[in-house]
Amino acid sequence: MNEDAELAIEAVRRYSAALERIRACLLDAYPDFGCVLDLMVAVGHTRALPRQGKSSTGIEYSVHGVGCRMTDQQGWEVDVDLVDGVEAFDAWRIKWFLDEQSDARPSVEELGRACSYLSGLGELREMRVGRWYALPDR
């Protein structure tokens, strides 16, 4: 494996870890919610929450179209869309995250290959071949 591929794999792992941490912190503020879909229902259908807000745990969220952007207190932002009801991301979302938080600059193509590789190891789930990925079921 070459150095560029290793950098891309590490970048995807950093995004995944940030997503897991920020998502958990957001959901900790809403004990009745099991996932981001529940937040989106509270925003869109029941209107119990505003489209943009800040949780009691300090995570800012912004519901958009079929997804949600979440930002922690340090300014780290992760974004997911719902794909078949599952919180999913693509290489572009990882690239955007990296551009905001890191000196590593793998290409979108390298990140896509890294996602496919990590899904083969079981570290990610491939929701749509070569396009959408999700955190593994825990």
Lowest-pLDDT range, 7-21, 47-61, 92-106, 119-133?
A: 92-106
The whole model's pTM is what?
0.91
Q: What is the pLDDT of residues 63-103, one digit of tens each?
A: 998 999 999 999 999 999 999 989 999 999 999 998 766 66
User: What is the arithmetic mean of pLDDT over 31-47?
Assistant: 91
What b/e readout covers 25-64, taking b as 16+ CB neighbours within 10 angstroms? bbbebbeebeebeebbbbbeeeeebeeeeebeeebbbbbe
Question: What span, in angstroms and rounded, lies between the C-alpha atoms of 82 and 36?
Answer: 9
Percent of all residues in the chain with a pLDDT value above 90, rounded to a whole number: 83
